[in-house]
Structure 1
Amino acid sequence: MRLVLPLAACRTTAAEPTHDKLLAWAMEHTLTDLPAVREVFDRTRIGDFSALAYPFANHTTRVLTDSWVLWTLIVDQLLEEKLSQETLRSRTSLSSDPAIALHAVDPEDPPRRHLAVLADLLRRSTLDMPAEWQRRFSGDVAFFIRSCHLEAAHRLPGAQPRIELPDFVALRRGSFATALFLDLVEKVYAVGRPEGPCTQRVAAELLSCASDLGGWCNDLLSYRRERGREDGNNLVLLLARQRGCSIEDAVCEAKEWVRRRAWQFQDYKAELITLLRDEGSDDVSAADALQWVLGVELLVSGSLTYQSSSRRWQEQ
């Protein structure tokens, strides 16, 4: 499926690949012993993500962001394994501590390698970052784990969740991990989110648009592979079920959701620019805010380009 968003994107890049550094890091933590990790390296072009999503980041930071991509994918596979082994705990953690949230997946047999890698990634990510950002980032990592755990719990034998669309939208914002990668925009570009009395509100709307676009584009790319298995956790499949319509009609509606959300992002971006001028922002603050919103835009478009080029998400 070909998806194009009306967003700025990095069309070409001569960035140094991160593949070798990423593989060395995975071997250092014995992750390459895991079938899920070998599959990621085989099917996802794992080292390409950061060059598309954070094209102006230095090589060290791009290795870090690609490491987070690898980790989120193996957490997803971990939940699949716990489901098949019937050891997944049905109750998700409420903690904002990522380690506690991950431990709750299977308290009897906690994923020690995943936890060790999580600790390493958190240490490297929070280095030299403000305390408030560190707190928010850790909370967003935990949000991802809790959301993925809840999606997996929906598929436990006997579970009959009826997910309404508003609940699905909120859950999908967490399970696609967009929030933690949006946080990393601030680290990559050394800028904070706009914090003016009005610009703060618009920034929150931009983040919501970005989060939805990430998850919904993923659902459009992967609905064929997930049909029958993730009917309640995929926008296309959920629309088909709740509307009582064909998959083809649900695809068309989901595409329209994505299109509207992308243009809403552009509307909020234009509003942000107007507010920066009308609130009398100084030039340094305005430049930082514009750098931030460009970073968010490139992340969303780059993520789609990355998914579209990786076999993991292609239609099956």
Structure 2
Amino acid sequence: MRSFAISALREPPFPVHRHPAVEAVAGQSAEWVRELGLIDSPTGLRRLAGANPAELAARACPEAPAGGLRLLTDLICWLFVMDDACDEDGLGASPTRLAPTVAELLAVLDRQGDPAAPAPTGGGPLGVALDDLCRRVRARQRPALLLRLVSELREYLLALLWEAANREHQRVPGVTEYVQMRRHTGGTRPSFTLTDLAYDQLPEAGRRADPALVALDVLAADLVCWCNDVFSYGKERTGTPDAHNLVTTIAGETGQDEAAALRAAATRFNEALAEYAEREAALASGADEPVRAVLTNRRNWIRATYDWSLAASRYA
């Protein structure tokens, strides 16, 4: 399936960058995972190492201080572990099984990284690691970004319950529904937020809420998720197929066979990429430095996802 993705997806026309501290940060983040007990099995550790979260972060955040890169890498590790718990280990097989864990993690998010609060007792290592991430973001003294991160992670967790309900009922969502929910289940938005925090160049609130910039943000998230879907489809169709893939939803809604649905998903990505380039150019014209920084961060994420997917064994 990787060969199909390479041939069918348009390569993002953005420069390739990679943070020079990637190896050091990879080691530090792996130690963080082990110390907090996020993964306690050799199989899980190999699975996370094959995903190479530091490589994805280093390409998405190539010029930030090493501390910002480390925080982003740890978040990506946490998201991968949570996703694997749901998708590979059965936690997300039904809402009733997943709900207690989600409730505990939502309680962690409600604390917003309060340094005076005791360590969380619920949620296990996932809760401890999530609390650690929130505390570290809070220490950066950017309350608007902390609130944004907490909100986006809350949306991510609730969207996982939607996935679990679909699995329980063997339901394939429609394309429009899937596209909307994928923006949350992909964990892309909190990753964007920590990338913005790493560079510490933030547009003022009014500019950040500009509908044109918000729409571009949504399109960037779609591109990251759809690229991931095409690259990962081959793996996801083996064993017990998961309905949560753009290719699967296109096939289910239109009745197309697998080959046609794959081509349709690739076409959707390619057309959105062209639209993104047009919208970005319009926004960049006359933009101030903080807005240009956000635009650079989003194009880095699109390019990073494509390049990382070429090599990551997670989707081989």
Short-chain TM bin: 0.7 to 0.9
Count, aligned residues: 297
Provide the residue aligned with 1:280 in structure 2.
none
One-letter code aligned to 1:203: L
Provide the residue aligned with 1:118 in structure 2.
130
1:40 aligns with 2:47: yes
Please state how far the C-alpha of 1:196 moved relative to its aligned partner. 5.0
Specify every segment of 5 or more residues in structure 1 that has no aligned partner in the other structure, as ranges: 104-108, 277-285
Please state how far the C-alpha of 1:25 moved relative to its aligned partner. 1.2
Contact 2:19 2:61 in 1 (8 A): no
Deviations 1:260-305 (A, max 9, x none): 11112111112212364xxxxxxxxx11211211111102211221
Contact 1:13 1:51 in 2 (8 A): yes
Deviations 1:197-221 (A, max 9, x none): 6981111011111110111111101
1:14 aligns with 2:26: no
Provide the residue aligned with 2:283 in structure 1.
272
Select which of 292, 300, 303 maps to 2:302: 300
Relative to structure 1, the CA distance from residue 145 to residue 267 in structure 2 (aligned partners, 3 Å threshold; closer, same or farther) is: same
Please state how far the C-alpha of 1:59 moved relative to its aligned partner. 1.6
Contact 1:83 1:152 in 2 (8 A): no
Contact 2:92 2:98 in 1 (8 A): no
Query: Equivalents in 2 of 1:185, 1:261: separation in Å?
Result: 22
1:179 aligns with 2:185: no
Select which of 211, 226, 237 maps to 1:216: 226
Contact 1:101 1:145 in 2 (8 A): no
Contact 1:82 1:88 in 2 (8 A): no
Relative to structure 1, the CA distance from residue 134 to residue 219 in structure 2 (aligned partners, 3 Å threshold; closer, same or farther) is: same
CA RMSD of aligned residues (A): 3.0
Report SS of the residue matched to 1:245: coil
Provide the residue aligned with 1:282 in structure 2.
none
Query: Equivalents in 1 of 2:103, 2:91: separation in Å?
Result: 27
Relative to structure 1, the CA distance from residue 263 to residue 98 in structure 2 (aligned partners, 3 Å threshold; closer, same or farther) is: farther
Please state how far the C-alpha of 1:180 moved relative to its aligned partner. 0.4
Q: Quick check: 207-216 or 19-28, which moved more? A: 19-28
Please state how far the C-alpha of 1:225 moved relative to its aligned partner. 1.5
Query: Equivalents in 2 of 1:200, 1:164: separation in Å?
Result: 29
Deviations 1:79-124 (A, max 9, x none): 246637967517869x999534999xxxxx9641111111001111
One-letter code aligned to 1:27: R
1:190 aligns with 2:200: yes
Report SS of the residue matched to 2:96: coil
Contact 2:109 2:131 in 1 (8 A): no
Relative to structure 1, the CA distance from residue 79 to residue 35 in structure 2 (aligned partners, 3 Å threshold; closer, same or farther) is: farther
Specify every segment of 5 or more residues in structure 2 that has no aligned partner in the other structure, as ranges: 111-120
1:65 aligns with 2:76: no
Structure showing the higher helix proportion among its residues: 2
Q: Percent same amino acid among aligned pairs?
A: 20
1:5 aligns with 2:11: yes
Query: Equivalents in 1 of 2:206, 2:72: separation in Å?
Result: 28
Provide the residue aligned with 1:252 in structure 2.
263
One-letter code aligned to 2:290: D
After TM superposition, the structure 1 = structure 2 runs for residues 82-97 of structure 1, keeping only pairs within 5 Å, are 83=90, 88-89=95-96
Contact 1:209 1:265 in 2 (8 A): yes
Please state how far the C-alpha of 1:12 moved relative to its aligned partner. 5.3
One-letter code aligned to 2:138: T
Relative to structure 1, the CA distance from residue 176 to residue 193 in structure 2 (aligned partners, 3 Å threshold; closer, same or farther) is: farther
Contact 2:108 2:130 in 1 (8 A): no
